[in-house]
Amino acid sequence: MDTTLQDPLVGRLLDGRYRVDARIAVGGMATVYRAVDTRLDRELALKVMHPDLATDAAFVERFMREAKSVARLAHPNVVGVFDQGADGAYVYLAMEYVAGCTLRDVLRERGALRPRAALDVLEPVLAALGAAHRAGFVHRDMKPENVLIGDDGRVKVADFGLVRAVGSVTDTTGSVLGTVSYLAPEQIEDGSADTRADVYACGVVLYEMLTGAKPYTGDTPAQILYQHLRTDMPAPSAAVPGLAPELDALVATATARDREARPGDAVALLALVREARARLDDAQLDAVPPQAKEPAAGNGDAESEARTSVIPRLRPMPVEHTSVLPTPAPDPAAPASVASSASAAGFRRRITRGPLLIVTAVLLALGIGTGVWYINAGQFTHVPAVLGQSEAEATRRLAGTGLEVGATERAFSDVYERGTVMAVDPAPGERIRGNGRVTLTLSRGPKVVKVPNLKGVPLAEAKKRLADEGLAPGVVGYAFSRSVAQGAVIGSDPEPGTERAPDSAIALQVSKGVPVPVPDVTGQTVSKATATLQKAGLKVAVAPERVESPVDAGAVAAQSLAVGSRAAKGDTITLTVSKGPRMIPVPDVVGRTVDEAKDALESAGFTVKISKTFPFLGDEVSAQSVPGGQNAPEGSAVTLTIKGL
């Protein structure tokens, strides 16, 4: 039955402008509809917050504020935000409508994807997240449901509804918003989410695309959270044998449990993905995955695992007094992954014994227990004046009064210098608990920065100049140039003089210098080949293992760059040395016709010569230069003598 017929919004004109035509999807916090903007006569998507959440003024205010931030992300792989507003109990966003399906739909229908297809999806996703990261935002809820694949093949990232400033903690209620299967360990442990949390989630999504299944399963969300905290991500090749090691390495790097071991943001991960793709051949990229398997028992509620939920977490606080308070009875209608607000509010005991106790506490907050601990915090102090100070100076001053920096946000300012504190929450002078946390807002400088001219500047210096201007180095590409010295910048994208927001990523193209033609050194001795290549300005490496080859033993059998290829000065050519031809038995062809004998010898791996003084006298082999059954070098010639009449 079509349930959209029962939806009160379908067929309604929302806010006097948007005609709601059909319901597309229902999520944990909002419902998405296909609609028409009657003023501009264009099709779009309306994301309408659930009415029960719309009664929370703070939540709505954040929803609106963050929507404005996302609207500034003008990127071809980000679903655009056109408008926001409210109509009675309905708070909505008007967004770009993408006709197509989600990555979740693709995985559900096809199972595992070929590596080429998985990387074709991942790269535009990382490009979109990279734009957000360099603009100072974190998505915090990356999953296949939020990757849209249009009918025209375009890939777009959707649902930036949880986006927050880089480095910010999710909220102050002792809970974290997200989806259990894609949460990074630090999100579970302390609620913090910077760009590396998105990197972790993208690693999980890549694993799922390559294998057709999530890396962790369990009967409850808490069991999945425990695995994220305590176990390293399994290699995709363990589930799909034959996958390239480079793909295993990508997943392992992106999903390192220690965030410091992950790439710093999506731009850095995108560079690693492109490097890995370049090392894979067509056979590795187009490897056909096995058919997706049925989910194993004990996978829990798949729908709740994929839903964006409020998940309880622990906020460390000094313990001065503890007492046991009764927990309100859980709502039997609520999903298992959503904690009751009453449970989350009392869930504040400091954990010092690692992830095991964290998961135990999560189990309690999910209703699997009889009570929670409540901590009474102690004395009060006043927030010191730190406006205009650097982040390090402000942090030291706050620490001196017993306070911590709980989150760091960033905003534009024409008054405060880039990197200095422009706002504090609570404000300077306000009363706060002596062990409380303070949110700092750091200046990103003015809203617009001009891209400097970096042509001819060495790469390291170019990166420093970008940072000094308030911009960030993006993907670095390389090309030959006869006019720009090797290692220096040829140009940038966007071009010099272009205005960009602070922290925008600037792609750089770096010179590989004048191309060096690669000479042919096969068949030469290693010493002679080395001298030839070094004279051409190239470096030489010798492969540790020798190979069987028609080339004489000790001579070069193969070189890593083919003759005529172009290399950069200083590039390394790897030489593979021959251990001589393979010795194989010679077929006995005496008594056969010439054609039969020739076919037999060539099929065995030999070349054939014919000795026939009087060709008209017969067509039968009377002798062969190497007797049948004797070994000879593969590829060598066998001479046949033809019997006369």
CA 122 to chain centroid: 6
Specify the residue for token string 């920065």: 449
d(CA 405, CA 285): 45
CA angle 79, 440, 470 (to 5 degrees): 60
d(CA 186, CA 188): 5
Q: Mark whether 520 is an active-site residue.
A: no
With beta carbons less than 8 A apart as the criterion, state whether 162 and 119 touch. no
With beta carbons less than 8 A apart as the criterion, state whether 578 and 546 touch. yes
Specify the residue for token string 């535009």: 124
d(CA 358, CA 364): 10
With beta carbons less than 8 A apart as the criterion, state whether 86 and 49 touch. no
> What secondary structure does DSSP assign to 275-340, as a single string?
HHHHH--HHHHTPPPPPPPPPPTT---HHHHHS-EEEE-------S-EEEEEPPPP-TTS-TTS--
Output the six-digit token pair for 227.
């695995």
d(CA 572, CA 569): 9
Output the six-digit token pair for 31.
């419902």
With beta carbons less than 8 A apart as the criterion, state whether 519 and 532 touch. yes
With beta carbons less than 8 A apart as the criterion, state whether 435 and 377 touch. yes
H/E run at residue 516: strand 516-517
Of residues 111, 270, 288, the one with CA closest to residue 195: 270
Phi, psi torsion values for 262, nearest 5 degrees: -90, 160
Q: Indicate which residue of 52, 141, 248, 571 is catalytic.
A: 141
Query: 449 by DSSP, 3-state: which?
Result: strand
CA 355 to chain centroid: 25
Of residues 551, 554, 555, the one with CA closest to residue 633: 551
Amino acid identity, residue 143?
K
Specify the residue for token string 């793909």: 247
HSE value, Cβ hemisphere, 13 Å, CA-based, for 430: 12
Q: Which are the catalytic amino acids?
A: 141
